[in-house]
Amino acid sequence: MNTLTPPATGPFEQTLRARLPKAAFRPLTAGYLEEPRGLFKGQGGLLVAPPRTVDEVATVIRACAEARVGVVPPFGGGTGLVGGQVQPDGPAPVILSTERLTAIRAVHPSENVLVAEAGAILADVQQAAEATDRLFPLSLASEGSCRIGGTLATNAGGGVNVLRYGTARELCLGGLEAVLPDGSVWHGLKRLRKDNTGYDLRDLLCGGAEGTLGVITAAPCGCSHGPRRLAPPFWLSQPPPLRRWTFWRWRAAGWVGGAFRPSNSSLAPAWASLRKPTAPPPARPSTRCPTGRC
């Protein structure tokens, strides 16, 4: 690798700075050189944060391809835990960041689709859908900082919503806008849920490629109608003695974890009543006739 790719410094850096506006370059801080736990650390490079156009992303990739300079796949929220956003050894690479490609380009409520750029934070995409009475169901712990491009490229996300709405790849509709390794732009941004007019490049770029086959710059995100109302679990509507007994039996069986919390604030009083007893689970309310003659 050291003999095949020159570092992203010196003449190459000067060439790239001449092709891009000054705002496209940022100081390289420690946050770009390690994953959140500090287990993987990079060794430096040239940080490029393209403004808001796919053409400038293509300019960076094309220049790197011509000079055979390595590129760290797009740095988004930096929330990945497998070290894909850092290069621990080898010549200094170009660290390409999509954190300024944050626009929600369009929302189409009648089609249940919104088009988001790769740097849009997942929580912002969810809010844009909610503003039109729609639900973008992809949800994960880092949704306040992870970005939609990296989420799609890694097919991230899980939880119970996957069972109902599908994975990140399935929430991305018929195509993408992406910059390929030679710097060409694939204008495959479509709002179709099915498109058989060629190879399904979306499935190659989404779900495991992690930027190695192309840089996602925008994606059509499929939305759904959200739930019309939220109903509490049936056992929270039972009388307190039976409610406590049911809860403690379920918890002993492992059906209710210790981290369980009600998602609706109106359920807080009922939840508090379950946590009051510190003694073992109460006995089940008797249903026998007190006189024995019933």
pLDDT confidence band for 31 (50 / 70 / 90): confident
Asked if 232 contacts 274 with a C-beta cutoff of 8 angstroms, the reply is no
- Is 11-97's fold the same as 104-222's? no
B/e letters for 232-261, b = 16+ CB within 10 Å, e = fewer, are eeebbeeeeeebbbbbbeeeeeeebeeeee
Q: Please report the DSSP string for 124-138 in residue order.
A: HHHHHHHTTT-B---
Top mean pLDDT of 5-9, 51-55, 228-232 is at 51-55
CATH class of 104-222: alpha beta
The per-residue pLDDT for range 187-237, each reduced to its tens digit, is 988 888 888 887 888 888 887 788 888 999 999 999 988 766 555 555 556
Which pTM does this prediction carry?
A: 0.71
The per-residue pLDDT for range 63-91, each reduced to its tens digit, is 989 888 888 877 666 677 666 777 777 78
Percentage of residues in the chain having pLDDT higher than 90: 20
More confident residue, 39 or 149: 149
Domain ranges of the chain: 11-97, 104-222, 234-275
Q: Is the pLDDT of residue 25 over 50?
A: yes
pLDDT confidence band for 128 (50 / 70 / 90): very high
CATH class of 11-97: alpha beta
pLDDT confidence band for 258 (50 / 70 / 90): very low
Structure tokens at 163: 């069972």
Asked if 277 contacts 244 with a C-beta cutoff of 8 angstroms, the reply is yes
More confident residue, 193 or 127: 127
The CA distance from 236 to 181, in Å, is 55
The kind and range of the H/E element at 91 are: none
Q: Which of 116, 76, 111, 121 is nearest to 95 (CA)?
A: 76
pLDDT confidence band for 46 (50 / 70 / 90): confident
pLDDT confidence band for 185 (50 / 70 / 90): very high
Q: Write phi, then psi, for 288 (nearest 5 degrees).
A: -75, 155
pLDDT confidence band for 4 (50 / 70 / 90): low
